[in-house]
Structure 1
Amino acid sequence: MSENTPKSFQHAVVTGASTGIGEATVRKLRADGWTVVAVARRADRLAKLAEETGALAFAADVTKDDDVEALVRFVAEHGGLDTLINVAGGARGADRIVDAKDDDWDWMLQVNVMGTLKMTRAFLPALRAHGHGTVLNLTSTAALAAYEGGAGYNAAKFAQRAVTNALRLEEAENNIRVIEVVPGLVQTEEFALNRFSGDQAAAAKVYEGVENPLTAGDVAEVVGYAVGLPHHINLDEVVVRPVAQAANHKLIRKG
């Protein structure tokens, strides 16, 4: 850290912490010595994660105002925060627009966009008061290029990316750095399974033949690096893909 960075710059709130990249990020930050409040809806999984890592667990739905307000109070009572990491999100469905389902789109917009908004808005006063705050939003390469069957997820991630870019402009004068980590193909426990409503065969096809897709731990390493840098260094945007994915439209499958 630079000499101008407070030594307390190791207090993070991580959403989406019950699985995948969120869980891996909690584990990474705790291994690096951070104080972490792990946030997700599933209290049982959070309790196990807290027991294994020493993180503080708080069960909350980031799309619910009452839950977010309660979380803000909890964090204030447990030492405050310097860093907010918005990981909660996901995709539902792979329908083309002609077959788009309102419920899928509503869910994606709520959790990816409104959840990020509600969390960020709620914690900005504390981050400003700290003087060296960080917000890191996990988006997706779906925010960079649209694809067939992805319009709902594209729309949500494009919007989350827009929120991130506007936030960076608005909060620079408050010395808040805003980081966007943009993963490509990541093989996690639940992402594809949730997208295809629990269809194991459809979920498996997403990764079929792909040599070494990214793991949640890989992305967590990038997140940990980005937020662990001296505060005056801002990684505005980090796109991370497996070598087999040269671009959204070019994915090498073998066999």
Structure 2
Amino acid sequence: MKTVLVTGATAGIGEACARAFVEAGWKVIATGRRAERLEALVEELGADRVHPCVFDVRDEEARDAALAALPEGFSKIDCLVNNAGLALGTEKAQDADLANWKTMIDTNVTALVSLTHKLLPALIESKAVIVNLASVAATYPYTGGNVYGGTKAFVRQFSLGLRCDLSGTGVRVTSIEPGMVETEFTLVRTGGNQEASDTLYGGMRPLDGPDIAATVLWVASQPPHVNVNTLEVMPVAQSFAGFQVARDA
């Protein structure tokens, strides 16, 4: 039975990944900050299938302690899903909060890179799959997307760089780049503004956590000789934005 480590498994895409992988016969190391949500997953899916690791991905000391304490049945990692990440604020760059920028960089970039580096020797040994959650924001800029889009562009390019460096090891690397996915994402970004979330997704059918989880599982389930480099996934209702034109009043 294979084992996957999923970061940010307490909500949204990460939580859906935990369920999808367990249903497909995998064991899951589920990480996140909210212990009660991880315990609920264990209760729902079984302690023999889900091992909870409570830590903030930015806290390397807590992360390392949790990884060192993995029980024997969960110690060999066959897939790493770097899902934990966030967007904070919708302001234009000139109006943005620098603290929000730094939090996004620390979470979406630094923590992802640090965890990947920590696990690389074990991932090479197991010829694992690394799945990094980027975003269509990595490719298509939009107003207010400034640093969030920059972090996801980093994730995409880092994934391709890993793919080059790991050539010959048997490790596969994929950047998955979703469009609009209705999770807690917008609530976090807007500081809990439900109206903003409802407006964003109103009148259209966005993707949801299980849609992306099914995609992650599909990538991880490909034969060992198949690597999906990048995979962009959008709801049918969403397409590419047009160019902006600033016109004189």
TM (normalized to structure 1)? Answer: 0.90
1:66 aligns with 2:66: no
- Structure 1 residues 113-134: Cα deviation after superposition (integer angstroms, max 9, x where no partner): 112101101110101122x211
Indicate whether 1:202 and 2:201 are aligned: no
- Residue of 16, 23, 32 corresponding to 2:8: 16
Q: Structure 2: how far apart are the matches of 1:117 and 1:249? A: 33
Deviation at 1:71, TM superposition (A): 2.9
Q: Report the alpha carbon displacement of residue 68 of structure 1 after superposing the two structures with TM.
A: 2.1
Contact 1:141 1:248 in 2 (8 A): no
Q: Tell whether the 8 Å contact from 1:164 to 1:178 is kept in structure 2 after alignment.
A: yes
Alignment of 1:85 with 2:81, yes or no, is yes
Compare 87-96 and 50-59 and name the one that shifted more.
50-59
Q: Verify the 8 A CA contact 1:68 1:118 in the aligned structure 2.
A: no
Aligned length: 239
Quick one: distance in 2 between partners of 1:248 and 1:233? 32
Equivalent in the alignment of 2:122:
126
What is the RMSD of the two structures over their aligned residues, measured on CA atoms? 1.4
Who is 2:246 aligned against?
none
Q: Work out the CA distance in 1 between the residues paired with 2:187 and 2:149.
A: 18
C-alpha contact (below 8 Å) 1:207/1:213 kept by paired residues = yes
In structure 2, what is the Cα distance between the partners aligned to 1:220 and 1:248? Answer: 25
Task: Using the aligned pairs only, state the percent identity.
Answer: 36
Give the residue type in structure 1 aligned to 2:187: L
Give the equivalent residue in structure 1 for 2:157: 162
TM-score by length of 2: 0.92
**SS in structure 2 of the partner of residue 174 of structure 1:** coil
Is residue 4–residue 26 contact of structure 2 (8 Å, CA) maintained in 1? yes
Give the secondary structure class of the aligned counterpart of 2:69.
helix
Match of 1:246 in 2: 239
* 1:173 Cα offset (Å): 2.4
Secondary structure in structure 2 of the residue aligned to 1:187: coil
Unaligned runs of 5+ in 2: 244-249
* Displacement of 1:209: 1.6
In structure 2, the CA distance between the partners of 1:249 and 1:68, relative to structure 1 (3 Å rule), is farther
Kindly provide the CA deviation profile for residues 96-152 of structure 1, in whole angstroms up to 9, marking residues without a partner as x: 01101111101111111112101101110101122x211100111011111111102
Q: Does 1:186 align with 2:181?
A: yes
Deviation (angstroms), 1:248: 4.6
Partner of 2:225: 232
Give, as a single letter, the amino acid of the residue that structure 2 aligns with 1:209: G
Distance 1:221 1:248, change over 3 A: farther
Instruction: Measure the CA separation in 2 of the matches of 1:175 and 1:249.
Output: 40
SS in 1 for 2:5: strand
Aligned position for 2:97: 101
**CA contact under 8 A between 2:8 and 2:14: conserved in structure 1?**
yes
Matched with 1:143 is: 138
Rounded to whole Å, the distance in 1 between the matches of 2:93 and 2:104 is 15
74-83 vs 108-117, greater mean Cα deviation = 74-83
